[in-house]
Homo-oligomer: A and B are copies of this chain.
Amino acid sequence: MADKNTAQETKKQAWRERLYEIIFEADTPAGKYFDVVLLIAILTSVFVIMLESVESIDARFKNGFTYAEWFFTVLFTFEYGARILCARRPIRYIFSFYGIVDLLSILPTYVLVLESYGMESDELHRLGVIRALRLLRAFRIFKLGHMLSGAAELREAIWATRSKITVFLATVVIAVVIEGAALHLIEGPENPGFSSIPQSMYWAIVTMTTVGYGDATPETPLGKCLAAIIMVLGYSLIIVPTGLVTAELAHAGGNFTATRITTQVCPECMKEGHEVDATFCKFCGSRL
């Protein structure tokens, strides 16, 4: 009987292994097929949420949207359950980044039903927007195909210049605060767009990034003069990080060893990015 149990256990284990490969990886045809179907489901459901937020469309197709939403929620709930079932360490999966996103993308629909008795319709509607986080799950599908190496090279170039980018960002933040304080001092009393330092800092960011809404503009000659200097500064600032990352990429391109990365996820620590010839996880040492 123990034997039978073990055989059953082994069978169950094999079944879980197979499910794991389909859901978490994209090396097998079944895994790829699963990812493509999931991607289509995610995109469609987010598209429905987008349409739902347009009042005139929502008024006409309210029932259709509700049915679609329940269909996707049930689908994603099954998928969430399957992921917990086949992960070797379910707790770790649940509290991983994607685990939380997976939960957040199904929870609102259930919460809406439970709480719909005590809340106003408008607030309920807004809670539903959280489901748009579903789209974050699409990042998981990037494991498909050869996009991975492109992303890896990029990440490497940005990582290699992180200390310079930190210096740059700190300089920008300090500049924004000083500029905000200066324009609050000059324009403050008369101009509502500069009524406080945080307000002026918002203006400084809008200006330095060259967005320039025009909802707050300097009106005094001195303010305009200072604003012009800030604009030229902000316009020039972009040069620095562009140059840094580009130079890094140009170098990397030369001696970048093209390590092929697989789509396998470590079944123990849930980390990705393992190379093709890896047999053990390079983060926790468990067999892949």
The interface of chain A, by Cβ under 8 A from chain B, is: 46, 49-50, 53-55, 122, 126, 129-130, 132-133, 135-136, 138-139, 142, 146-147, 149-151, 153-154, 157-158, 161, 163-164, 166-168, 170, 172, 174, 177-178, 180-181, 184-185, 188-189, 195-199, 201-202, 205-207, 209-215, 217, 221, 224-225, 227-228, 231-232, 234-236, 238-254
Contact = CB atoms under 8 A, between A and B. Distances in A.
Contacts of A240: 154, 158, 245
B136 A174 contact: yes
Contacts of A161: 150
A126 B196 CA distance: 10
Contacts of A201: 50, 228
B163 A196 contact: no
Contacts of A239: 238, 241-242, 245-246
Contacts of A168: 154
A74 B149 CA distance: 54
Copies in the assembly, this chain: 4
A155 to B, nearest CB: 10
A177 B167 CA distance: 30
A189 B122 contact: yes
Given A174-B138, A251-B253, A132 B214 contact: no
B242 A247 contact: no
A196 B55 contact: yes
B157 A142 contact: no
A129 B184 contact: yes
Nearest to A177: B135
